[in-house]
Structure 1
Amino acid sequence: MKPILAFCCALLLAPSALAAETLKYVALVDGGKQAGEQTVTVGDDGTTHVDFIFKDNGRGPELKEEFRLRADGTFERYQVKGASTFGAPVDETFTRDGDTGTWKSTSDSGTHTFTGTALYTPLGGTPAATSVALAALAKQPDGKLPLVPSGTLTQRTVASMDIASGGKTQTVDLLALTGIGFTPSFVWVTRGAEPRLFAYIYPGFLQLIEDGWQGSANALEARQKTAEREALVALQQRLAHPLPGTTLIRNARVFDSEKAVLGTAQDVVVRDGRILSVSPVGLSRVAADNVVDAGNRVLLPGLYDMHVHAGSWEGGLHLAAGVTSARDMGNDNATLQQLMAEEKDGTLMHPRVIPAGYIEGQSPHSSQGGFVVKDLAGAKQAIDWYVEHGYPQIKIYNSFPKEILSDTTAYAHQRGIRVSGHVPAFLRAQDVVEQGYDEIQHINQVMLNFFVTPETDTRTLARFYLVADKTDALDFDSKPVQDFIALLAEKRIVIDPTLATFEFIHQREGQLSPIVADVADHLPPDVQRGRRAAEMDIPDDATGARYKRSFDKLVEFTGRLYRAGVPLVAGTDELPGFTLQRELELYVQAGLTPSQALQVATWNGATYTRTLDDAGSIVPGKRADLVLVDGDPTTDIADIRKLALVIKGGRAYYPAEIHEALGIVPFAPALRVRPAR
């Protein structure tokens, strides 16, 4: 749902020390479609002005930024105003007077006493922001730049390229910046005493590059992917621990995901990435090479996150959360194919990926990725490609032509694959169910059924604000609502609610996102700060209270769906490694038992990805994708965060070790695999 958020987080730095001139950047999304631009102008008084706009999939930020720099290249004065991706107001200032710095944003404020060079990091800044950081960092003799309110920025050169355009040539360097967020941010940078951002590339999604150099963007992206892959291979080699021979997991309480019950302690033997046997404690006759003393801990099948947009750097976060299988719900096809190949050959630390083939329709609002089609012939060609590449389903998106929907779903079923998606603009959820959908993504797409008219364009932010405004007043016991629930149950339409994602509709400025609120002390300070920024425009307390009541009713509605027999799958479409746990907590809040919520995240995930023959439960012959919990999530779902060991693909991963590598305070000690004695 939010690749642009990853983009903004990767650039959470500050604007540019330029010569007295105007510099323009263009933002291109997959296929070269321009989706935004940035203009940076230095005035005669030394003040830099930045205008930035980015619009993709009917949303995106619009920002105006202004700042002056000190002699050391850091901010003396800074201001940014505008609107965030989902329309929340952005209004942030920073000033430094002597050794005292003061900042205020819509979500936080504070002061800082400076003892030397340090750079304020704007919460809502533009991509141009990286340039100030790069120039200031270049001046630091130790290669480290302290950040305000917290953190330290460092850089490492990982690649260089000579590029040419219009008779001009230059060499640009690819830097890996660390010290913000969980993983490195990669930026292309000019050379010289005052280096600046040249290009920011999010492979498969976005290319932000200096105007006039667009022809070099694809070559830069290809080189960056190679450099990132080398870093990712090294990370996998460091954090993945092979399990040669036979491994005995002794004395573990095994969760029966088919029946949603926790069994008595058993011994589980795995070999070559498969479950060899499950037997009462002490009765296994297999000679083991490795042993895990589970100590009566709970053993779960590997979890499924049923709604991700897979990225290579997210794998560690997923695995540390026990997610061993992830369904990709829309991506650049070439990028996803490469990611899947790297995961399969064991060089990429990542869950197994089950792909959903993304099909969008042509319009000014089109989301780029997968295939963008204009007619039935194009839709059939896309389906054929996905079938030939082993995709078990397709995902239809917002601008898909409603006139060909029924024929498209029929053709997909004829080719043997499932159909899921958003509800295309100017239709209701009931319409897509009647025209052949097997599954609907997002609780808002379901709830809009009661709020849209034939004229409502849900490709805009209306698809969020209508639900926030109107759900509070909807009578769930009314005949239209009851009839719709009955239709979903009768047709066994799967719902992928992504409830935790939609908590943003009620989050107020300064409040921690509920996704991380209970575990904030485990996160790096800059991540905590970023998670206090609201995404929706909530102008007053009355509106905020109504939006909160609306969200609570979304949770209630999900529980009603489940009790009516509508299948659920647990997806996130948000921060990897933390959102799935919150999603399961919300299912329990909706009335599911913890064991039922775990069943949704295991058995249901395998069922509706068509992988149940190979995964989703702990029985001999299935993959040894296993999660050992230092607690009992069948009685307290919050214990799902306390993972001691994850096994996937014949390798052991220690969540505590991964978390420490990513700057996260571990939730439970690692339980090590030991050689058998």
Structure 2
Amino acid sequence: MKLSHRRSAWRILAATAVSWAALALPSAWAETVRYNVVAGGENVGWMVVDREQDEVRIDYHVDNNGRGPKHKEHLVLDAQGYPTLWTIDGTSLFGGAINERFERTGDRVRWTSQADSGEAPVSAGRLYVANDASPWSLALYANALSDAPQQTLDVAPGGRITLTEVRRLPLKGGTVNAVVYRLTGLNLAPSYLLLDDKGDLIGGLGGLIREDLAEEEPALRRLQAELETQRIREIQSRFAQAFDAPVRFRNVRIFQPETGDLSPLSEVTVFGDRIATILPETGGPRRADVYEIDGEGGTLVPGLHDMHAHNNTQSGLNYLLAGVTSTRDMGNDNARLIDLIGEIERGELPGPRIVRNGMLEGRSPYSVRTGFLADTLEEALEAVRWYADHGYWQLKIYNSLHPEWVAPVAAEAHRLGLGVTGHVPAFVTPDQALASGYDEISHINQLMLGWLLEPGEDSRTPLRLTAMARGATLDMDSERVQRTIRTMVEQKSALDVTAVTLETLMMSRAGEIPPMAAAFIDNMPIGYQRYRRRAFVDINTPEADAAYRGGFQKILETIKRLHDAGVTLLPGTDDTLGLTVHREMELFTLAGLTPAEALTASTLTPERYMGRDQDLGSIARGKMADFFLVPGDPTQDINAIRAIRLVMKGGAAYQPAEIYPEMGIRPFASGVTIHAPAQPTKRTETADTPSALFGPEGLEGHYH
């Protein structure tokens, strides 16, 4: 039963003077429902919902990997289930303060949140979408939408949300009838939830489940993956363009990462999934036997890399539309990642080329539940062997791995041909990690904590982020700093930078557009815009504000010092948006690298690092056709990479201007016109195929 129906029933009963006690049905009017929050198959939090008549009180608490939202909510609902009062108090993911208020009085609604404050007439949006709500809010929205025309509503503070019934699903041997719904318009990706036949929340697909149905959570998580896969497959089938003849890009310049220059105006022809020819632009007429695209003097840029990704079904589309054609996955659901890569490689789903790194964590109160969680050294070593047997490229060590395990785990990884990267475990310094076998360090803060933490301080907690404010007073010429840089140079160690992640955490302020999103936030859905206008850590004094700003400037200075010393810098985001890869490159330039150096670091450098530069990383004859087209010159202004007109990955073309509206995003550039050949040719096993053109193993026998 919908909440509004319950309240109506209560008023009818009250009017007939039937006493509450005489009803003997208190659970219908006052009840407590408990939910588990699940990650990696383990409970990492709870949600407790107390409901009585028109009031709802919620206690939401998540503690996963030393972080998570923790807050309490109070709602007063009207007879139709809309909130007239909604307060949320507590902390967000990394400890930022939440004091959100919504109230409806008369014909006005007013709100204050981390992101914004304002008021509007009720007619502009009677339903308020909260900025920091618990998952219970999904049921609130769904019940309101169930009575709305076309199950769509305009909402405050802006935007429109839509409810779609996906399927009916019996649970617990058929004793519970669940309905799966999809909510769109809240953010970039849809939200999935389950309601019972009374309209009450059962859970959200992917981590929340009513306590009495806990055994259903693994199956529901798989269902979420299935539903999202179906949705993205449909987008892939509609918008990914394959070609049955060569594709010629005319009137383009090519970014050449080896030199940092642009080529003269050129013609680039792609056949199948490889670049067939690169010739000087002749200005001649269109050819009748090829697909042809006029680049109008724009620039072809090799596909970008995100060297710190956690791929999922949705992220593949995000990456491609941002020109990111390769990622390195730094920890995931191992089985799902292998399946996802197969679906992408078969062309069933859009997505980048994915290099797999396997995450290894040790058991502690702060453990992350991704990859393998080891209770003993032998379990840790077995995890390393599993990753090696399944073709992973590197091992990623995480915060809670026991310090004494680092050296034997790294040695086993090296014995089996795996590289070693990761966080620096708690109570271990970066210098010690490098001496124990690390080839690379993940995140610039994990490197700099070795200069900022005191012995005994625990980096498994949010201190690994908040301590970066101490960097404001760091002496970059101190022996402590210089020793680490010398070690990295001597050992040829790399740094997976993820500066954009640190900027998000250190430079975001409540109610302000964060620098990391300034270039694209106005193009995004209202839910994403509000999510970004928040503080992720508690910055409540001018002194704290100055410390975080000064600390981030030291991060930029560290990037430049490492670059000048010759340390390999790998751009990454620890995000799934794709667009943040552009900001990571921009931060490289703010640190002092030239735009061309930032472009090289994001194209050819990762492929050389991973040993794939014979096939990828630059635009050259015989290489894979992974590149994108922009109208400007990114060697002069790195922001030119944001205006992407077309992306090609392995010979399939995507036009962001066509696809972004499907995701609620306003495109950043217009698309291109693709002129089809007058007489299409079909690919057959003749002398025109790539294998015949380039030899049995590719060009000069080196490509495969």
The reply to whether TM is greater than 0.5 is yes
Deviation (angstroms), 1:672:
2.9
Report what 1:289 is aligned to: 290
Partners of 1:233 and 1:604 in 2: CA distance: 32
Aligned match of 2:38 in 15, 28, 32?
28
Match of 2:179 in 1: 173
3-state SS of 1:292 partner: strand
Letter in 2 for 1:545: A
Residue of structure 2 equivalent to 1:6: none
Cα pair 1:320 1:656 within 8 Å, conserved: no
Matched-pair contact (CA < 8 Å) for 2:139–2:193: no
1 CA distance for matches of 2:290 and 2:639?
Answer: 33
Structure 2 counterpart of 1:293, one-letter code = D
Report which stretch shifted further, 452-461 or 547-556: 452-461
Equivalent position amino acid for 2:249 in 1: I
2: distance between equivalents of 1:199 and 1:431?
44
Distance (whole Å) between structure 2 residues aligned to residue 334 and residue 212 of structure 1: 27
2:153 partner SS: strand
Distance 1:101 1:286, change over 3 A: closer
- Who is 2:254 aligned against? 254
Instruction: Quote the offset at 1:613 in angstroms.
Output: 2.3
SS of the equivalent of 2:549 reads helix
Task: Specify whether residues 19 and 497 from structure 1 end up closer, same or farther in structure 2 by C-alpha distance, changes over 3 A only.
Answer: farther
> 1:40 matched to which residue of 2?
49
The structural deviation recorded for 1:619 is 1.5
For the Cα contact (< 8 Å) 2:146–2:163, is it kept in 1? no
- Cα separation, partners in 2 of 1:374 and 1:454, compared to 1, 3 Å: farther
The corresponding residue for 2:459 is: 458
Q: Deviation per CA, 1:350-382, whole angstroms, max 9, x where unpaired? A: 112111111111222111111112334323322
Q: CA deviation at 1:341?
A: 1.1
SS at match of 2:314: helix
Which is worse superposed, 524-533 or 287-296? 287-296
Q: Per-residue displacement from partner, 1:110-154 (whole Å, max 9, x unpaired)?
A: 001012872111111111111211111112243112211111211
Could you tell which deviates more after superposition, 67-76 or 178-187? 178-187
2:569 is aligned to: 568
TM-superposed deviation, 1:507: 1.9
AA partner of residue 268 (structure 1): V
Task: Report runs of 4+ in structure 1 exceeding 6 Å deviation.
Answer: 283-287
CA distance in 2, matches of 1:667, 1:223: 33
Partner residue, 2:541:
540
**Partners of 1:485 and 1:592 in 2: how far apart?**
18
Deviations 1:576-630 (A, max 9, x none): 1321111111100111100000000001121223322221111222110111111
Give a deviation string over 1:448-492, Cα, whole Å, max 9, x none.
Answer: 011223411110011111112x10111111222122212112212
Aligned-partner Cα distance in 2 for 1:191–1:672: 50
Indicate which of 158, 163, 167 corresponds to 1:155. 163
Q: Which residue of 1 aligns with 2:438?
A: 437
Cα separation, 1, equivalents of 2:118 and 2:661: 28
Question: Do the aligned residues in 2 keep the contact of 1:257 with 1:603 (CA within 8 Å)?
Answer: yes
Q: Contact 1:80/1:91 (CA < 8 Å) preserved in 2?
A: yes
**Secondary structure at the residue paired with 1:607?**
helix
Give unpaired runs (5+ residues) of structure 1: 1-15
RMSD (Å) for aligned C-alpha atoms: 1.9
The answer to whether the aligner puts 1:484 opposite 2:470 as a matched pair is: no
1:555-574 C-alpha deviation (Å, 9 max, x unpaired) = 11111110110100110113
- TM-score where L is the length of structure 1: 0.93
1:200 shift after superposition: 1.1
CA distance in 1, matches of 2:225, 2:197: 21
CA contact (8 A) 2:444 2:498 kept: yes
Show CA shifts across 1:257-278 (max 9, x none): 2232222122211111111122
Which residue type is aligned with residue 42 of structure 2?
K
Per the alignment, residue 230 of structure 1 pairs with: 230
Contact 1:643 1:668 in 2 (8 A): yes
Q: Give the TM-score of the pair, scaled to structure 2.
A: 0.90
Deviation at 1:288, TM superposition (A): 4.6
Aligned mates of 1:292, 1:141 — CA distance in 2: 44
* Displacement of 1:384: 2.0
**Identity, % of aligned pairs?**
37
Unaligned runs of 5+ in 2: 1-5, 8-27, 679-704
Task: Select between 594-603 and 568-577 the one with higher mean Cα deviation.
Answer: 568-577
Any residues of structure 2 matched to 1:518-537 within 5 Å, and which? Answer: 518-537=519-538
Equivalent pair of 2:205/2:223 in contact (CA under 8 Å): no
The answer (yes or no) to whether the contact 1:374–1:401 under 8 Å persists in 2 is no
Q: Which amino acid aligns with 1:39?
A: V
- C-alpha separation in 2, matches of 1:494 and 1:160: 50
Q: Which SS does the other structure have where 2:264 is aligned? A: strand
Contact 1:64 1:81 in 2 (8 A): yes
Equivalent residue letter for 2:497: P
SS at match of 2:100: strand
Q: What SS does structure 2 have at the residue aligned with 1:527?
A: helix
- Corresponding residue of 1:199: 203
Q: Secondary structure at the match of 1:534?
A: coil
| Structure-2 change in CA distance of 1:410 and 1:313 (3 Å) | same
Secondary structure of the 1:412 match is helix
Letter in 2 for 1:457: D
Following the alignment from structure 1 to structure 2, what is the Cα–Cα distance between the partners of residues 410 and 657?
49
| Distance in 1 (alpha carbons) for counterparts of 2:601 and 2:442 | 15
Aligned counterpart, 1:12 = none
Q: Which amino acid aligns with 2:37?
A: A
Q: Which residue of 2 aligns with 1:383?
A: 384
Change in CA separation of 1:288 and 1:552 when aligned onto 2, cut-off 3 Å: farther
**Residue matched to 1:137:** 145
Task: Give SS of 2:396's match.
Answer: strand
- Give the letter aligned to residue 254 of structure 2: V
Match of 1:609 in 2: 610
Residue among 117, 127, 131 paired with 2:135: 127
Amino acid at match of 2:84: E
- Within-5 A mapping of 1:342-421: 342-421=343-422
How far is 1:575 from its partner? 5.1
| Structure 2 contact 151–164 (Cα < 8 Å) conserved | no
Corresponding letter in the other structure for 1:169: T
